[in-house]
Chains A and B, each alone.
Chain A
Amino acid sequence: EPEVTQTPSHQVTQMGQEVILRCVPISNHLYFYWYRQILGQKVEFLVSFYNNEISEKSEIFDDQFSVERPDGSNFTLKIRSTKLEDSAMYFCASSQEGLGNTGELFFGEGSRLTVL
């Protein structure tokens, strides 16, 4: 069964450093998302991406964050100058909207970011 894959599974970084989280969405999906979940809390929307551009973003997704689809398969989230409060699990998700599809979000297993 096709799945969304994310790397790394866990990253520890010093405050102020840049991190890049990588995702390989399901190959025929057209919509890509990043969500984050602070331990034990709700799943927060960060950004959605369609047709090679950001379609929507939340207030959390400020200038510190950026997304890119550098090639046909990878979808990356870059966090510049990390802060302690960026520590969270970051989930990538993809979906296939359209006729006959529910538009369900397929989530990867997540990348846990720890900022020290």
Chain B
Amino acid sequence: GQQVMQIPQYQHVQEGEDFTTYCNSSTTLSNIQWYKQRPGGHPVFLIQLVKSGEVKKQKRLTFQFGEAKKNSSLHITATQTTDVGTYFCAGRFEGTYKYIFGTGTRLKVLA
């Protein structure tokens, strides 16, 4: 079936360290979105990537979409305590409109 996996499942970093989460799909994606969910909150949209090899930046966050459109990554530079939460990728497969969420990476930032 259509699955989207993420690694790592958990990551603890010291404030100021970098963080990366990786997202992998079983099949080619039409596009991919990234969401952040704070503890006790709901997923909040961060960005969408559509093109093969696309790279987008939002301040300290860098998002990449793989050439084969089967994987993606989110990199946070110099983490802050406000970055705490679970980061989910959500992929849309060709011919569908639904987004399948990845397994998520829970980030803890130690001050």
Q: Residues on A close to B: CB < 8 A?
A: 31, 33, 35, 42-45, 48, 50, 55-56, 58, 91, 97, 102-110
Contact = CB atoms under 8 A, between A and B. Distances in A.
A103 B88 CA distance: 16
Contact of B42 (A48, A91, A102): A91
Nearest to B92: A103
B96 A56 contact: yes
A109 B97 contact: no
Contact of B99 (A50, A55, A105, A109): A105
A109 B45 contact: no
A97 B88 CA distance: 20
Interface in B75-111: 88, 90, 96-104
Nearest to B103: A42
B99 A45 contact: yes
B42 A109 contact: yes
A67 to B, nearest CB: 14
Interface residues of B, number: 21
Interface of B: 31, 33, 35, 37, 41-45, 48, 88, 90, 96-104
Given A42-B88, A42-B104, A104-B48, A97 B97 contact: yes
Contact of A45 (B31, B101, B103): B101
Contact of B45 (A35, A44, A105): A105
B97 A48 contact: yes
Q: Give the 9 A-B CB pairs with smallest separation, nearest first.
A: A104-B45, A43-B101, A107-B42, A102-B48, A56-B98, A42-B103, A48-B98, A107-B43, A45-B98
B98 A33 contact: yes
Contacts of A58: 98
A90 to B, nearest CB: 11
A110 B97 contact: no
A103 B101 contact: no
A12 to B, nearest CB: 18
Nearest to B42: A107
Contacts of A33: 98-99
